[in-house]
Structure 1
Amino acid sequence: MQQLVSAKYCFRIRTRNGAIVDNLSIFGRDEDEAERKLRQIYQGCEILELRQQAAALRAGPLNYEDVVDMISGGPARS
């Protein structure tokens, strides 16, 4: 079974009404897919900044402790 790998992209945008949105994270296989998803949600926005964030890859299924760590911002384990 082939595993799809997604990267996490962080955007800083200006919406069409002028509001600034910082740290908007979107997953995508590449930058183009992440931007396409962004523009579906924020139509007419202006991208001010785009950067790719390292995403932690997990070897197996998530357990309860992994979910609590993600919610609380605790250490990532694999």
Structure 2
Amino acid sequence: MQLSPTAKYGFRIRTRSGAVVDNLLIFGKDAPDAERKLRQIYLGCEILEAKRLLVQMPRVGMVNFEDVVDLISGPASVETSK
């Protein structure tokens, strides 16, 4: 799958009225951009936690055999022999 240059950032904040808001997701090209957008929406908030999440963009173009196998088999797992 192709990953986009834009990331989604997850925030946990405390609003200025004291309410805690979990799992706020905001797109941004980098962390400061996402934080700026967050602070425009929630004025005077306190950021308690921030994390970066990768966003997979939809595929454009033809799908090859390897892409289909990857889709069917799911994420790669590591096997260990005993």
TM-score of the superposed pair, with normalisation by structure 1: 0.69
Instruction: Establish whether residue 25 from structure 1 lines up as the match of residue 41 from structure 2.
Output: no
- SS at the partner of 1:5? coil
Q: Which runs of 5+ in 2 are unaligned?
A: 61-82
Q: Which residues of structure 1 form unaligned runs of 5+?
A: 61-78
Shift of 1:59: 2.6
Give 1:13-52 correspondences, 5 Å limit.
13-52=13-52
What is the identity, as a one-letter code, of the residue corresponding to 2:10? C
User: Which protein is bigger by CA-based radius of gyration?
Assistant: 2
Matched, 1:55 2:38: no
**Residue 12 of structure 1: CA displacement?**
0.0
Aligned residues: 58
Identity %: 60
